[in-house]
Structure 1
Amino acid sequence: MKLALFGFGNAGGKIVDELLYHQAERDGDFVRSALAINSARTDLAKLDYVPPEQQLLLGQTHERVKGQGVGADPKLGAEVTRQDLHEVERALDEVPLYDVDAFLVLAGLGGGTGSGGAPVLSEALSEKFDEPVYGLGVLPSEEEGGRAAFNAARSFQSFVEATDNVLLFDNDAWRGSEDTVGGGYERTNRELATRLGSLFAAGNVGDVVAENAMDASDVRRTLATGGVSTIAYAETDLSPSTVRSKGLLSRFRKNGTGEDVDPAQKVSGLVRQAIQSRLTCPADVSSVERSLIVISGPPEEFSRKGLERSRHWVEEQTDSMDVLAGDNPQPDADALSAVVVLSNPTTVRRVDEMQGRAVEAKDDMAQQRADREDAISDLITDDAGELDPI
């Protein structure tokens, strides 16, 4: 599937940066265009793989922004995006729309620029183009505080309404207890890029054609439910016979047991492992409407029987017959991987928790504002109220 990427804000831009690196490392071609959009000049300067000509600074003429960011204010982020939307549309002139299957707008939902601007851009893209517009929304961790939860809960509603589907990524589910702030985000961005790359690379025609071919229409159908989606992923070493045929004897000696596992068992076990491991955002699998399974790796590792077993098992877990499954041949891959898209789950505990915390934060902020106004009034007036201002 060929994508035009729009990384909005600090988190969105960094994920696009990581996706471009991921694609270059694997000699892929699913990213046809990439644009990093931000209201803070310093955040754009941190990007390594998005070239300067594909970076857009919003709010340069806005009296409150001037290229210095929106201060975690999503209303201001939405405002400067609307003001400079013509600049984004001008950048679209460079996008090879004839070779794009979908748009993907990526943003962290707890800040200001991405949480405010991503829904605005998504709505504009949906109105102007026939291709589907997907979102990638990063939920803030609890460590980021009530303000971030408040921003995210409000942005989440707008983002889902403005897109065909929002892929969710939960920072709390992925950051380790020993991670530094910067190191944690770098690691989670790599994990996310691996999952997105495995999904969207499927169906792009290479030297080897899949026996059970996936294409862009399969991804579109799975994500056409609306709402949100979460992604499962797992990978395993290649079978010793495949390793020997590829000439990777050092890898075989290190990881191989000398015995091949039944391919059907290996594929079906990998899919189960993916879904039973961490999802990009934890969700009740039984509430999922549609699913998509993609097995990637050397073709000799594939198994039609294993794929069918996997499909039937996912049908049982989701209580839905709407499950697509297929192969993505990668002859030079050094592992076998499975990515599973779980589309439109209706029970997502993390979203419920975020919304509850956002309501509490809203009440707290209102009370703090009222208390502060009273304190300021007490400060600038005398106790007896005998003095009049000039």
Structure 2
Amino acid sequence: MKIALIGVGNAGGKIADELFRYQNESGRDLCRAVMAVNTAGTDLAKLDTIPEEDRLLLGQTNGQVKGHGVGADPDLGATVIEEDLHEVERALSEVPIYDVDAFIVVAGLGGGTGSGGAPVLGEMLNETYEEPVFGLGVLPSTEEGGRPSYNAARAFPSFVEATENLIVFDNDAWRGNADSIGGGYERTNREIAKRIETLLSAGNVGEEVSENAMDASDVRRTLATGGISTIAYAETGIDRSTFESRSFLNRFRKNGTQEDSDKAKKISGLVRQAVQSRLTLPVNVESAERSLIVIAGPPEEFSRKGLESARRWVEDQTNSMEVLAGDAPIPSADTVSAVVILSNVTDVDRVDELQSQALDARDSISEQKSDRESEIEDLITDDNDEISPV
């Protein structure tokens, strides 16, 4: 699947940067265009992989922003992005749309530019282009405080409405206890990149023909449900026989019945491990409307029987017959990975928790503002209000 990737805000830019880096390292060619959009020049300067000419600084003429960010204010973020949409449209005019299957807009939802600007950008893309617009939204961890939760709860419905499907990554489920803030985000960004790249790699890897063909239309169909989605992932090393089969003498050696059976069990087990492990967003799997399975790795490791067994198992787990499955051959890979996207999930406790945290944060912010105004009034006036201001 060929995409135009747009990172919005600080977190969105860093994730897009990592996705682009991971693509380059893996030798894949998924991003036909990549762009980082921000209102803070310092954030854009910290990116490593996205070319400087593809980093777009907005808000330079806005009197409140002037290229220094929106101060975690999503309303201001939305305003600035909307004011400078013509800059984004001008940059997108260079994108080879004829070779793009979809847009992916990435944003962290706890700040200001991403949470406010990503929905605005998603709406513009939907109105301008025929290609589907998918979102990748990152929920803040509880440790980040009440304000990010409040911003995320406000941005969440807007981002869902502005995209054909919103893939969600929950920092609360992924930050380790031993992680520093910076180190934790770097690790989770890598995990996001691994999952997205593997999902989109089906039908895109070199000239190797997939035995169980899958293309961009399968991904688009799975995500064309609206709502939100979560991704499952697992990987394992390849068998010794796969290394041996790469040699000239063993290249045409056929596997025996037992080896075929073992590979089927391995593929089926890998998919089960993925779904039963940590999802990008914890959900009740039974609430998924559609699912898609991609097995990526050396084609010698693939098993049609294993893939079919895995597909039937996911159908049972989701109570849905809308499950597609295919493989993405990567001849030089030293691992086999399984990625499963569960689309339009509706039973998500984390969203309810986020909304509850946001309500508490809103009340606390309102109360603090009222108290602060009273304290300022007490500070600047005398006790008996006997002094007349100038």
Q: TM-score range by the shorter chain?
A: over 0.9
Q: Secondary structure at the match of 1:35?
A: strand
Q: Secondary structure at the match of 1:152?
A: helix
Q: Secondary structure at the match of 1:60?
A: coil
Partner of 1:252: none
Figure out how many residues of one structure are paired with residues of the other and give that number.
Answer: 380
| Contact 1:292 1:323 (C-alpha < 8 Å) held by counterparts | yes
Runs of 4 or more off by more than 6 Å in structure 1? none
Partner of 1:100: 100
| Contact 1:241 1:260 (C-alpha < 8 Å) held by counterparts | no
Q: Aligned runs of 1:186-265 on 2, under 5 Å? A: 186-204=186-204, 206-246=206-246, 262-265=262-265
Q: CA deviation at 1:350?
A: 1.1
Q: CA deviation at 1:297?
A: 1.0
Q: CA deviation at 1:65?
A: 0.6
Query: Percent same amino acid at aligned positions?
Result: 68
Partner of 2:359: 359
Distance 1:188 1:39, change over 3 A: same
Q: CA deviation at 1:300?
A: 1.5
* TM-score between both structures, scaled by the size of structure 2: 0.95
- Most deviating of 286-295 and 198-207: 198-207
Partner of 2:256: none
Report the residue type matching 2:43 in the other structure. D
Structure 2 portions without partners, runs of 5+ = 248-258
Partner of 2:253: none
Report the residue type matching 2:70 in the other structure. V
- Structure 1 Cα separation of the partners of residues 350 and 124 of structure 2: 28
Q: Aligned runs of 1:36-75 on 2, under 5 Å? A: 36-75=36-75
Q: Aligned runs of 1:77-96 on 2, under 5 Å? A: 77-96=77-96
Q: CA deviation at 1:20?
A: 1.2
Q: Deviations over 1:248-301 (max 9, x none)?
A: xxxxxxxxxxx8871111110000000011101111101111100001111111
- Most deviating of 200-209 and 236-245: 200-209
* TM-score between both structures, scaled by the size of structure 1: 0.95
Alignment pair present for 1:117 and 2:117: yes
Q: Aligned runs of 1:360-379 on 2, under 5 Å? A: 360-379=360-379
Q: Secondary structure at the match of 2:7?
A: strand
Q: Deviations over 1:65-120 (max 9, x none)?
A: 11111110111110110111000000001111000000000000000111110000
Q: CA RMSD in A?
A: 1.3
Report the residue type matching 1:323 in the other structure. V
- Structure 2 Cα separation of the partners of residues 343 and 389 of structure 1: 62
Q: Secondary structure at the match of 2:340?
A: strand
Report the residue type matching 1:190 in the other structure. R
- Structure 2 Cα separation of the partners of residues 266 and 348 of structure 1: 30
- Structure 2 Cα separation of the partners of residues 381 and 308 of structure 1: 77
Q: Secondary structure at the match of 2:145?
A: helix
Distance 1:137 1:230, change over 3 A: same
Q: CA deviation at 1:380?
A: 1.8
Q: Secondary structure at the match of 2:33?
A: strand
Q: CA deviation at 1:180?
A: 1.1
Q: CA deviation at 1:191?
A: 0.7
Partner of 1:255: none
- Structure 2 Cα separation of the partners of residues 304 and 240 of structure 1: 20
- Structure 2 Cα separation of the partners of residues 35 and 208 of structure 1: 29
Q: Deviations over 1:131-177 (max 9, x none)?
A: 10000000001111000000000011110010000100011111111
Q: Secondary structure at the match of 1:300?
A: helix
Q: CA deviation at 1:382?
A: 2.1
- Structure 1 Cα separation of the partners of residues 189 and 386 of structure 2: 61
Q: Secondary structure at the match of 2:300?
A: helix
